[in-house]
Structure 1
Amino acid sequence: MKTISSVVEHYIKTKPFLLSALSQGIINLTSLARNMMPELEQELGKDVKQGAVVMSLKRLSEDLDFRVNHKIVKVLKGIGEITVRSSLTDYTFAVSDTILNKQAELITSVNANPEVFYTSSRGVNETNIVVSASMSPVVDRLFADEKQIERNDNLASITVKLPKENVSTPGVYYYIFQRLAWEGIIIIEVISTSFEFTILVSEQEVDLAFKVIKDLKSL
């Protein structure tokens, strides 16, 4: 049986930005309830009192404050080293029978230049390679016969070390990427391991992206 509380919670959870704003207590609950009324009444098939919706929102916001803020903020306060690199190029190639051999050759070249940045990830149909721009001629030569899907130049990376609690706390990545989205930052690539992740952004946006992530430590 549908209740006002369950319908209100479902409504809020289907709107991620509204969910976060509610958890931070920055929304006028009466105004929000008034805007929600038509949809809630249609869902429940009966008239709903605005006061009941406000009470449901209040209980939900208090619960979210604990589930979102206390648990996630504890993890974010434990963010470790943040490393920034600039002058990067991001390649995407179609997966092929020969691409691993080309990557092996590239890794040999990278090992001979310890100062350069290199990372790679492989999906079902695509292989992604991110290198320092100085290595672009090598990539262009080695992968000349591969199908190049995308290339982005003039990028910067931000690598963030996360505490071990990150793998057992839901919503950590969502919270970080939401903050970046609020600032209008376009994320070109995301590369992650268990306790660290790297995002690629344009060099024009790297300073703002760095500030957003750094400020998470002082929430």
Structure 2
Amino acid sequence: MKTISSVVEEYIKSKPFLQSALAQGIINLTSLSRVIKEDIQEDLGKEIRSGAVVMALKRLSTDMEFRATHRILKVLKNIGEITVRSSLTDYTFLVSENILDSQSQLLSEINRNKDVFYTSSRGVNEINIVISNAMESTVEEIFKLEKCTQKLENLSSISVKLPEDNVSTPGIYYFIFQRLAWEGIIINEVISTSNEFTIIVAEEQIDKAFKVMKDLKSL
């Protein structure tokens, strides 16, 4: 038989950002109860009082630090290598019929210089390239016929290697980006693979961003 407590718990467990907020005691339970009351009533199939939801949230939040964040913290404690690169430029080009040919030419140039930082991602209408400043003239020559919609200079990157179980743990990226946002760090780009992600930030914010990443291992 469903109870208010069990339904509230299942609801909260399905929302990693709420789990994190409850675990840190930074959310108003009365306000939250008003927001989720309708969903809880629908699941229970009957009307309930907001006070009952508040009580369920209070009981749940007493051990939420373990319930909500234990898996996330376990993953973060096993963060691997953190690599910082500076002197980067971020280009955004509109997708065109010839854009892949231009990228192929650029990759050929990069292969001649193993010290160059390069990463690229493609959306529906845009292609993004982040590359070492030293390749700026090369990029602009190869892509001179392409439409550049944005160019950002004086950037740095932080690449973080995550343990393999990050892909099966909800809330990992929310947890990380939440802490970066709290420090007022503006993220220009995010590039990720299954077990690694890279953020691009302004060079004046790299020290603060690196400290946030490093401190994740000691939470």
The answer, yes or no, to whether TM exceeds 0.5 is yes
- In structure 1, C-alpha distance between the alignment counterparts of 2:33 and 2:77, rounded to whole Å: 38
TM-score, scaled relative to structure 1: 0.84
Identity of aligned residues (%): 58
- In structure 2, C-alpha distance between the alignment counterparts of 1:42 and 1:193, rounded to whole Å: 38
Any idea what the Cα deviations from partners look like across 1:47-78, whole Å, max 9, x if unmatched?
8364x344211233246433431101000000
> For residue 160 of structure 1, what is the aligned residue in structure 2?
160
Any idea what the Cα deviations from partners look like across 1:98-129, whole Å, max 9, x if unmatched?
11111111111111121111111112211111
> For residue 65 of structure 1, what is the aligned residue in structure 2?
65
- In structure 2, C-alpha distance between the alignment counterparts of 1:196 and 1:20, rounded to whole Å: 22
Partner of 2:102: helix, strand, or coil? Answer: helix
TM-score, scaled relative to structure 2: 0.84
Are the equivalent residues in 2 in contact too, given 1:8–1:40 (CA < 8 A)? no
Are the equivalent residues in 2 in contact too, given 1:9–1:60 (CA < 8 A)? no
- In structure 2, C-alpha distance between the alignment counterparts of 1:118 and 1:33, rounded to whole Å: 46
- In structure 1, C-alpha distance between the alignment counterparts of 2:37 and 2:70, rounded to whole Å: 33
Are the equivalent residues in 1 in contact too, given 2:37–2:50 (CA < 8 A)? no
- In structure 2, C-alpha distance between the alignment counterparts of 1:89 and 1:134, rounded to whole Å: 9
> For residue 148 of structure 1, what is the aligned residue in structure 2?
148
1:183 deviation in Å?
1.1
Any idea what the Cα deviations from partners look like across 1:167-191, whole Å, max 9, x if unmatched?
1111111111111111111110011
Structure 1 gaps of 5+ residues are none
- In structure 2, C-alpha distance between the alignment counterparts of 1:97 and 1:39, rounded to whole Å: 48
Partner of 2:187: helix, strand, or coil? Answer: coil
Any idea what the Cα deviations from partners look like across 1:136-179, whole Å, max 9, x if unmatched?
11111110110112111110000000111111111111111111
> For residue 123 of structure 1, what is the aligned residue in structure 2?
123
* Residue range with higher mean Cα deviation, 57-66 or 84-93: 57-66
> For residue 111 of structure 1, what is the aligned residue in structure 2?
111
> For residue 178 of structure 2, what is the aligned residue in structure 1?
178
- In structure 2, C-alpha distance between the alignment counterparts of 1:207 and 1:57, rounded to whole Å: 38
Are the equivalent residues in 2 in contact too, given 1:92–1:129 (CA < 8 A)? yes
> Aligned partner of 2:158: which letter?
I
> Aligned partner of 1:190: which letter?
V
Partner of 2:181: helix, strand, or coil? Answer: helix
- In structure 2, C-alpha distance between the alignment counterparts of 1:63 and 1:97, rounded to whole Å: 55
> For residue 49 of structure 2, what is the aligned residue in structure 1?
48
- In structure 1, C-alpha distance between the alignment counterparts of 2:15 and 2:164, rounded to whole Å: 29
RMSD: 2.8
